């Protein structure tokens, strides 16, 4: 992953509403959400939501799929995982940073 990709992701996530949209989409995983569902859950006006979704797409944090007349937004897990790996690449000199119990808890579904 290039530094520019990381910067783009953080710029996209550096806005409160956009971060909330991303977190909501991540929570739904592969099921995804339509803009209508996101609007109903977060109360973001449609025009503003459209702008936020576009920014998250440009940062490669989410994907978009057309199903009939609906657009479905899902997290881009590959890119998000690469972002996390990039951030933790040299963490703690290659040793686990968290106590084992916290690591297991973080991985639990």
- The helix or strand, by DSSP H or E, that contains position 16, with its residue range, turns out to be helix 16-28
- Specify whether the CB–CB gap between 103 and 89 falls below 8 A: no
pLDDT above 90: percentage of residues in the chain = 72
Phi, then psi, of 50 in degrees rounded to 5: -60, -45
Q: Is the pTM of this model over 0.85?
A: no
Residue 77 has pLDDT above 70, yes or no: yes
Give residue 87's pLDDT.
Answer: 84
Q: How do residues 17-74 score in pLDDT, each as one tens digit? A: 999 999 999 999 999 999 999 999 999 999 999 999 999 999 999 999 999 999 999 9
- The helix or strand, by DSSP H or E, that contains position 89, with its residue range, turns out to be none
Q: Please, what is the angle between helix 3-13 and helix 77-88, to 10°?
A: 110
Q: CA angle, corner 103, sides to 56 and 4, nearest 5? A: 30
Residue 88 has pLDDT above 90, yes or no: no
Alpha-carbon Rg for the chain, nearest whole angstrom, is: 16
Query: Stretch 79-100: mean pLDDT, rounded?
Result: 78
Give residue 92's pLDDT.
Answer: 75
Sign of CA dihedral 18, 24, 30, 31: negative
Residue (of 6, 7, 62, 3) closest to 30 by Cα position: 62
In order of start, what are the domains of the chain with their CATH numbers?
3-107 (1.10.10.10)
């Amino acid at each position: 992953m290039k530094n520019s990709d990381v910067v783009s992701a953080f710029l996209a996530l550096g806005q409160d509403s956009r971060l909330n949209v991303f977190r909501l989409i991540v929570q739904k995983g592969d099921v995804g959400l339509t803009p209508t569902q996101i609007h109903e859950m977060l109360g973001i006006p449609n025009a503003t939501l459209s702008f936020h979704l576009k920014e998250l797409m440009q940062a490669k944090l989410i994907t978009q799929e057309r199903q009939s007349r609906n657009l479905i937004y899902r997290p881009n897990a590959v890119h998000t995982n690469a972002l996390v790996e990039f951030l933790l690449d040299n963490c703690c000199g290659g040793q686990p940073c968290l106590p084992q119990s916290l690591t297991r808890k973080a991985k639990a579904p």
